[in-house]
Amino acid sequence: MTSIAANMQAVIGRISRACTAVGRDPRAVALLAVAKTWPVAALREAAAAGQRAFGENYVQEALAKVDALRSLDLEWHFIGPLQSNKTRAVAEHFAWVHSVDRLKIAERLAAQRPAGMPPLNVCIEVNVSGEASKSGVAPGEAPALCRAVAALPQLRLRGLMTIPEPATAADAKSAAVRRRFAQLRELRDELNAGGLNLDTLSMGMSHDLEEAIMEGATIVRVGTAIFGERVKS
């Protein structure tokens, strides 16, 4: 077993234990392997170990991987900030976009999604921490954006995504971190009560996936715990 395969098994074990602790079915939580900056060979190892869903942050890097790994029939998720001049490439090559935070971006994705492809699954990114440096719509502005995106053709609004302010290993166990994740879950519940049908909470990473699962995460985005620490350039 390769180190990546072993790491994946360890992460799957963490997901299972976190679900069991709160009475959730582990099958209700999907593992998204975040592969930004990692070479194609690393993704091949993860795919050989059974991973099918991969998250990418950078469009040009992702397109090269999509092309190199086309024969493996992988599912590609775009999770980074998306500029208007990159929406066509994402609309044409990805199954999911987790980082929609402006109507303009959603409108471009809808217009540029090829007619022969299934609707593009999208999540609205919500800045639950209120950090000026973070992407994402403010929680109070999310309902209007969600309703507008839900009405667009060629898109399927699936849910919400967040990246709370970084936490240390100790802080990740704190009530404050869980509260950030709970805020996203409560927002999803409010939107569904208002007529939307959102089934996805994309939240939780290598250091805090347990807390996210306890608050209802359905997709956890894990990079470091699978591939290792990235080399800083």
In this prediction, residue 232 carries a pLDDT of 53
In this prediction, residue 233 carries a pLDDT of 44
In this prediction, residue 167 carries a pLDDT of 59
Q: Is 170 exposed, middle or buried (0-12, 13-18, 19+ CB in 10 A)?
A: exposed
The domain locations on the chain are 3-227
The tens digit of pLDDT for each residue in 99-128 reads 999 999 999 999 999 999 999 999 999 999
Tokens of residue 32, six digits: 């998204």
In this prediction, residue 172 carries a pLDDT of 52
CB 176 within 8 A of CB 135: no
For residue 164, which of 146, 185, 149 has the smallest C-alpha distance? 185
Amino acid at 41: A
Residue 75, number of CB atoms within 10 A of its CB: 15
In this prediction, residue 164 carries a pLDDT of 84
For residue 103, which of 163, 152, 140, 162 has the smallest C-alpha distance? 152
Torsion sign, CA atoms 12, 17, 20, 24: negative
Low-confidence ranges of the chain (pLDDT < 50): 233
In this prediction, residue 107 carries a pLDDT of 98
Tokens of residue 96, six digits: 């999911």
| DSSP3 helix / strand / coil % (the chain, rounded to 5) | 45, 15, 35
CB 43 within 8 A of CB 53: no
Tokens of residue 33, six digits: 């392997």
Give, in words, the CATH class of 3-227. alpha beta
Rounded distance, CA 231 to CA 233, Å? Answer: 6
CB 23 within 8 A of CB 213: no
